Amino acid sequence: MHNHWLFIGNVIAHLVASMSGLASFAFSLWEHSRQKKLESRVFFIVGFICLIVAFDQAWQDEHRNSQVLIAEKSSLASENEFWKSQSYQKDAALRSLNGLLVQNFTTLSQEQQVESKTQEAGSDAQKSLAQLASKILDINTPIQQKTTVIFFDKDESKSPAQARFLLLTNVNLTPVRMNVQCNYSMQSVAVSAVGALNMGGASRLSSTVWEANISSPAWTPTLPLLATITYSHLGDLTCAFPLK
């Protein structure tokens, strides 16, 4: 419903601009040249035409905004896939190196089976190298994203009541798509970066579940998100913020 009000406001802005600009000038020119007032029906006809034009201009604005967001999202997705493929290639190279090391030490152990001490030393060295390669793989494995939710404050003196949560992450993440799930029915949800101008919004999926989307800026360990929730039920509100 919030998006509908924004669209209606955009239509009204275009309508006011049309009626107070070109239409107003045309009315004044006509009345001055003819030395008589325009009929009311002419004014309403022109106003109706300007309203249609205002709806078209508002739709064009929304269409351009959606195309810009789609292009930015596609660019971010391509960049994310590029770095993911780079990480997988490094993992494959390290696994191949681990396999070669194991094969070389197996061959060395077979050639030195005459002395048992040498066999034991080769086996220990093989295990040590395998453990070292395993640790290298662990270091290069992409870090799993973790979200930390901190209850910020709650104000039940107003109607509706309001609660705010601070959301922390351990890695950089963009775009951000998450669900806001609470144990009570929510009237509105807003998720934004703290102290930064973000692009995105929240839409209602059900009375207790909303979807939040932020295309920019990136959610980082130094730039947390602030979730503001309004609800009518006064009680112990609990919420979860799973990523999609």
CATH 2.60.40.2430 spans which residues of the chain?
147-240
Question: pLDDT above 90 covers what percent of the chain?
Answer: 22
The answer to whether 161 touches 231, Cβ cutoff 8 Å, is yes
Report pTM: 0.43
- Point out the least confidently predicted range of 68-72, 183-187, 192-196: 68-72
Task: For the domain covering 147-240, report its CATH number.
Answer: 2.60.40.2430
Q: What's the pLDDT band for 190 if we cut at 50, 70, 90? A: very high
> Residue 237 corresponds to which tokens in the numbers above?
């509100």
CA distance 189 to 228: 6
Q: What pLDDT shows up at residue 115?
A: 59
